[in-house]
């Protein structure tokens, strides 16, 4: 497929047709570019200054994002638990069977990204186990890049740094509590534009003397409509 793209794009360039391709979604490791031929304009993915805020409140507040913004979620503090506290292998990732030996009913659950589970799918596991909400924290490689997903329960997606602070709070408190505040769409995020963690990086292994990607373009939380209910297919929401 790559060879066909390279050949086709080169032919287009010879005919005076401009060609642009996405850098790919294999970041944040280096040399993970796709379609990195010198004659193709390669576009990396950046954040935009719009956030869809969902804030984890423990006393201190940690801003994250969630496309699901329930209007009726109580601001009352609820018990907070770390999914990995039960000792089950990989339970911290909130995958299938993570809560077989852990009672999360009525609690907000801190889950970690990774281990093959989708962000929305982790919330499905929490909801099915009776959890009241989910705080999803990044891995170190994900850094500060968070996504506004259409979650199935009250949830927020936080950076790795914020997640570590919440884990420290849980470990140092005899009765950790939290709630999630949903603040809707906010414009003017001063950190944008920033390269998202998933955007593929250079250098190009094919043409190491040429800097790639060439430019950045909006690539996080770009909203679009779809013609079916949120409940029809959870997998398609976890892009």
pLDDT at residue 235 in the model? 55
Q: 77 and 60, same structural domain?
A: yes
CATH of the domain at 148: 3.50.30.30
Counting the structural domains of the chain, the total is 2
Same domain, 173 and 70: yes
Residue-wise pLDDT tens digits, 73-82: 989 999 999 9
**Residue 101: inside a domain:** yes
> Which pTM does this prediction carry?
0.84
Q: Does residue 93 share a domain with residue 62? A: yes
Average pLDDT, integer, range 202-213: 87
Confidence of residue 97 (pLDDT cuts 50, 70, 90): confident
| 66 and 89 co-located in one domain | yes
- pLDDT, position 238: 47
Q: Specify whether 183 is located in the same domain as 65.
A: yes
- Based on the fold, state whether residues 138 and 120 are members of the same structural domain: yes
Report yes or no on 236 lying in a domain. Answer: no
Please report which confidence band the pLDDT of residue 239 belongs to, taking 50, 70 and 90 as the band edges.
very low
Q: Is residue 172 part of a domain?
A: yes
**Token pair in block for residue 1:** 């497929």
Q: Give the whole-angstrom CA distance, residue 148 versus residue 48.
A: 12
């Amino acid at each position: 497929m790559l060879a066909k793209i390279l050949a086709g794009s080169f032919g287009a360039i010879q005919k005076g047709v401009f060609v642009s391709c996405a850098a790919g979604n294999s970041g944040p490791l280096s040399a993970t570019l796709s379609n990195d031929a010198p004659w193709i304009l390669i576009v990396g993915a950046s954040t935009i200054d719009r956030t869809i805020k969902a804030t984890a409140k423990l006393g201190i507040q940690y801003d994250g994002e969630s496309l699901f913004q329930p209007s009726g979620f109580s601001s009352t503090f609820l018990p907070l638990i770390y999914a990995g506290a039960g000792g089950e292998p990989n339970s911290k990732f909130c995958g299938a069977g993570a809560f077989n030996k852990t009672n999360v009913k009525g609690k907000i659950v801190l889950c970690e990204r990774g281990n093959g589970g989708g962000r929305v799918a982790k919330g499905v596991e929490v909801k099915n186990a009776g959890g009241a909400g989910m705080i999803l924290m990044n891995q170190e490689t994900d850094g500060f890049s968070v996504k506004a997903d259409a979650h199935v329960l009250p949830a927020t997606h936080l950076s790795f740094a914020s997640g570590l602070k919440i884990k420290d709070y849980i470990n140092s408190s005899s009765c950790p509590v939290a709630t999630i505040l949903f603040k809707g769409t906010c414009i003017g995020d001063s950190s944008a534009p920033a390269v998202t963690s998933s955007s593929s990086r250079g250098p190009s292994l094919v043409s190491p003397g040429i800097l790639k990607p060439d430019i950045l373009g909006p690539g996080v939380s770009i909203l679009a409509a779809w013609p079916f209910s949120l409940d029809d297919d959870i997998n398609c929401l976890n892009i």
